[in-house]
Amino acid sequence: MSLRNLPAAQALERPEGLHWDPPSDALERWAATATMAEAPGTIGIMDVIGTDSWTGEGVTAKRISGALRSIGSKPVTVSINSPGGDMFEGLAIYNLLREHPAEVTVKVMGLAASAASIVAMAGDRIEVGLGSFLMIHNAWGAVVGNRHDWRAAADIFEQYDAAMADIYAARTGQPVKEVAKMMDAETFMRASEAVDKGFADATFNDPTPSSDGASARADLSARRRLDALLAKDGMPRSERRRLMREALGTSGAAEPPATLRAGFDPAAALRLLETIRS
């Protein structure tokens, strides 16, 4: 068990046709800091929670479980910079960290939003870097189906929200109703605010991004920011992925920047889209 007495995340039903996608505003904030490198001796959660359908990357409970097995019964530091993603993967990672037999220290390096904020709550000690943010909100996803599926999904989403509110309330000491109001408002908290509200124990100085692989990471960051802006404009996930596949010249599988279609410049495309939107 964790050194802190935290509630276990309940096993919840996943509706048919449900697709998780990090909130567009969280994606936009995260993309600007996604180049940060994890520090040695930590488990780094520096991507979306779950598998990203267009990059093929992401942080899964399976990966975290393997990392914890290799660490053994020793203290662990978890560095987080993630816009969130699949709530079920987030709850599973939370439970894995909660049951770790030694102390778990969580450090928010840039952003811990949505499902990533649930993961952060598993820390015996939670620290947020100055200039970093922690965000909580209601369950967010897309459901495909008829009116009965949508009504059933709304009922199930209420259960998801209640389960997350219980975890936040247990970690912060705040009443569940107050936490639910914060979730309704989709609340972004800077470091000092997160400490004041009990979502973190302390702040630390903003870490310096690594320069290793800066060009490749900048390219990936540009693509993700472009994806975030398209999502913010209301373009469905399937259409965004189709456009990206065509631009990248791939069949849908993730490929490194070197395989980009000739002439496609994600940064230039991003600048053009931002100009059009402004």
Cα–Cα distance, 16 to 86 (Å, whole number): 14
Single out the residue of 12, 209, 211 nearest to residue 92, CA to CA.
Answer: 12
What CA–CA distance (Å, rounded) separates 11 from 20?
A: 17
- Return d(Cα 20, Cα 240) in angstroms, integer: 14
Instruction: State the DSSP code for 167.
Output: H
Can you read off the two tokens belonging to residue 107? 């450090």
Let me know: does 199 contact 171? Beta carbons within 8 Å.
Answer: yes
The catalytically annotated residue of 79, 117, 132, 137 is: 137
| Annotation marks residue 137 as catalytic | yes
Q: Is 114 a catalytic residue?
A: yes
Find how far residue 84's CA is from the centre of its chain.
Answer: 2
Q: Which DSSP string do the residues of 119-164 spell out, in sequence order?
A: HHTT-SEEEEETT-EEEE-S--EEE-S-HHHHHHHHHHHHHHHHHH
Distance (Å, whole) CA 246 – CA 227: 14
Question: Catalytic one among 24, 79, 82, 114?
Answer: 114
**Total length of the chain:** 278
Query: Could you give the residue numbers annotated as active site?
Result: 114, 137
